């Protein structure tokens, strides 16, 4: 029997002689880390976002590294870490906390430039998460060889990081691009800069965007200015597209009146008509409380009618519908979960039955967002008024099942499964690894399953 993921997280040393991964969401004692380096030499993947000395994560056998940097490590300590790195398959850099004046000044002085003239950091996958001054963003081109980067992930960062990196001409070999931010300072310029990035990277096929202002950017077929959509350069080659615009309002008295307007019908029709090569697609339907325990036939009919353009995507394999992750419950809490699951199953069954003749490869439907998106009290449930409560909406994952009946007709049904089943049954589908509800460590771990 294989050890559980939890066992690997808690007891990686001595668990097995051929352990290849070490992942910890908590701080690791330097003595333990030294022991790992000495006795678990086959570990080629190490993800530790909280480490007293990130340089300890580097060995000659490491190929995938995640390192976290506290404010005191964001200047010369980071430069020393970067100088020690071998060529990697994946490098994830997490900047914890904010910054103070000396961090801004350090990167503004550019004393580091000469140190990387002949040996830049080389990695196929680069993730940068956290907040740093824009003087650091300007340093990236001097420290990293971006021509080797095929997967770029910018997460929970200022938009000036995207602005500084996306315009660099050497960043031209991307196959995957992910951008997660709640910073809205640059959204008027995003469309043009994103379009330039997509035009330059002719191998780019997978795009994941979670931006708090994405709904304000026209998708097409033409923008108000008469220009084409920022996605247009990808319309012949895009295979994965995930679009999410998180709601940033505080959860107050108007939480039940908050509605999603993204994606509108016209944008969905545009994507399904022009991006015919899509195999993985994630979007927000304009349906509030998609998985509510009080799911009605009218609500389901509206959703299925909205999704009609999906039938144009003949090669689609997986569809995820992001839902605002707070659900209104009109039943006793003990019954709400079962009722929502039944409603979700009915939606999935009707959806699969409707699209199967048009999209024969569409085998997976995901309803909702995973992870712990809100504070714990929303997962437990809070009273909104005397009639209902508000709680964390669950995620439901369904796989299409087919059975040929004696009459020769095919019966299509939906089977509720776990995320790990998707990994096992459909290893080529990685859309769930980029669910905006999960934290970085969970996303990276999912990619390794």
Q: Tell me: the pLDDT tens digits for 228-286?
A: 889 999 999 999 999 998 864 333 344 434 444 578 888 899 999 999 999 999 998 88
- Write down the pLDDT at residue 256: 39
What is the phi/psi pair of residue 239, to 5°? -110, -25
- Write down the pLDDT at residue 338: 60
Q: Is the dihedral of CA 220, 222, 228, 232 positive or negative?
A: positive
End-to-end CA distance of the chain: 16
Query: Strand pairing partners for 125?
Result: 90, 151
What confidence tier does 447 reach under pLDDT thresholds 50, 70, 90? low
Q: Which residue has the higher pLDDT, 49 or 185?
A: 49
Burial 373-411 (b: 16+ CB within 10 A, else e): bbeeebeeeeebeeebbbbbbbbbbbbbeeeeeeeeeee
- Write down the pLDDT at residue 253: 40
Say whether pLDDT at 336 is over 60. Answer: no
Instruction: Break the chain into its structural domains and give their ranges.
Output: 44-223, 239-449
Say whether pLDDT at 373 is over 60. Answer: no
Say whether pLDDT at 94 is over 80. Answer: yes
- Write down the pLDDT at residue 219: 82
| Angstrom distance (rounded) from CA 449 to CA 443 | 10
What confidence tier does 378 reach under pLDDT thresholds 50, 70, 90? very low
What confidence tier does 313 reach under pLDDT thresholds 50, 70, 90? very high
| Tokens found for residue 386 | 């005397």
With beta carbons less than 8 A apart as the criterion, state whether 401 and 413 touch. Answer: yes
- Write down the pLDDT at residue 120: 95
With beta carbons less than 8 A apart as the criterion, state whether 77 and 68 touch. Answer: no
Domain 44-223 has CATH 3.30.310: no
What is the phi/psi pair of residue 44, to 5°? -105, -5
The string of pLDDT tens digits covering residues 380-400 is: 444 555 455 566 678 899 999
Question: In this predicted structure, which of 245-249, 319-323, 330-334, 399-403 has the lowest mean pLDDT?
Answer: 330-334
What is the phi/psi pair of residue 89, to 5°? -80, -35
- What is the distance of C-alpha 42 from the center of its chain? 29
Rounded mean pLDDT, 18-23: 81
| Tokens found for residue 204 | 């780019």
The string of pLDDT tens digits covering residues 37-63 is: 988 889 999 999 888 899 999 999 999
Rounded mean pLDDT, 6-21: 51
| Angstrom distance (rounded) from CA 417 to CA 57 | 36
Q: Residue 344: which H helix or E strand, with range? A: helix 333-355
Say whether pLDDT at 4 is over 70. Answer: no
- Write down the pLDDT at residue 46: 93
DSSP line for 5-71: HHHHHH--TTT-TT--EEE-SS-B-HHHHHHHHHH-TT--EEEESSBS-GGGG--TT--EEEEEE-G
- Could you give the 3-state DSSP secondary structure of residue 391? strand
Rounded mean pLDDT, 161-179: 95
Share of the chain above pLDDT 90, in %: 49
- Write down the pLDDT at residue 392: 67
Share of the chain above pLDDT 70, in %: 78
Say whether pLDDT at 11 is over 60. Answer: no
Mean pLDDT of the chain: 83
- Write down the pLDDT at residue 214: 86
Rounded mean pLDDT, 404-410: 84
For the CA atoms of 182, 51, 66, 72, the dihedral, rounded to the nearest 10 degrees, stands at 50
| Angstrom distance (rounded) from CA 236 to CA 211 | 24
Give burial (CB, 10 Å; 0-12/13-18/19+) of 424. exposed
């Amino acid at each position: 029997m294989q050890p559980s993921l939890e066992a690997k997280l808690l007891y990686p040393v001595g668990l097995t002689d051929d352990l290849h991964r070490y992942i910890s969401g908590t701080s690791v004692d330097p003595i333990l880390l030294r022991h790992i380096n000495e006795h678990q030499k086959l570990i080629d993947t190490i993800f530790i976002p909280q480490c007293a000395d990130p340089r300890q994560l580097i060995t000659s056998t490491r190929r995938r590294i995640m390192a976290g940097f506290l404010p005191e490590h964001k200047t010369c300590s980071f430069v020393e870490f970067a100088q020690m790195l071998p060529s990697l398959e994946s490098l994830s850099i997490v900047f914890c906390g904010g910054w103070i004046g000396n961090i801004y000044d350090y990167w503004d002085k550019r004393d580091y430039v000469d140190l990387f003239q002949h040996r830049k950091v080389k990695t196929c996958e680069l993730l940068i998460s956290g907040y740093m001054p824009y003087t650091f963003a300007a340093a990236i081109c001097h420290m990293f060889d971006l021509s080797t980067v095929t997967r770029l992930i910018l997460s929970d960062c200022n938009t000036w990081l995207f602005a500084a990196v996306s315009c660099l001409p050497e960043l031209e070999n991307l196959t995957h691009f992910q951008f997660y931010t709640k910073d809205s300072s640059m959204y008027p310029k995003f469309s043009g800069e994103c379009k330039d990035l997509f035009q330059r990277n002719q191998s780019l096929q997978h795009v994941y965007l979670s931006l708090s202002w994405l709904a304000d950017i026209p998708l097409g077929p033409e923008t108000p200015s008469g220009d084409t959509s920022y996605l247009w350069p990808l319309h012949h080659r895009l295979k994965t597209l995930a679009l999410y615009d998180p709601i940033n309002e505080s959860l107050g008295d108007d939480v039940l009146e908050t509605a999603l307007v993204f994606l509108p019908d016209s944008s969905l029709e545009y994507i399904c008509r022009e991006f015919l090569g899509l195999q993985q697609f994630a979007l927000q339907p304009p349906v509030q409380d998609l998985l509510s325990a009080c799911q009605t036939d009218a609500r389901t009919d509206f959703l299925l009618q909205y999704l009609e353009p999906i039938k144009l995507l003949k090669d689609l394999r997986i569809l995820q519908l992001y839902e605002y992750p707070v659900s209104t419950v009109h039943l006793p809490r003990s019954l709400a979960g079962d009722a929502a699951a039944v409603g979700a199953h009915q939606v999935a069954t009707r959806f699969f039955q409707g699209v199967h003749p048009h999209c024969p490869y569409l085998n997976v439907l995901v309803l909702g967002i995973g992870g712990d998106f809100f504070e714990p009290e929303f997962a437990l449930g809070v009273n909104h008024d005397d009639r209902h409560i508000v709680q964390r909406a669950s995620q439901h994952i369904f796989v299409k099942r087919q059975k040929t009946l004696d009459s020769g007709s095919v019966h299509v049904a939906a089977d509720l499964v776990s995320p790990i089943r998707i990994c096992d049954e459909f290893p080529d589908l990685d859309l769930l690894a980029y669910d905006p509800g999960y934290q970085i460590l969970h996303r990276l771990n999912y990619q390794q399953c």
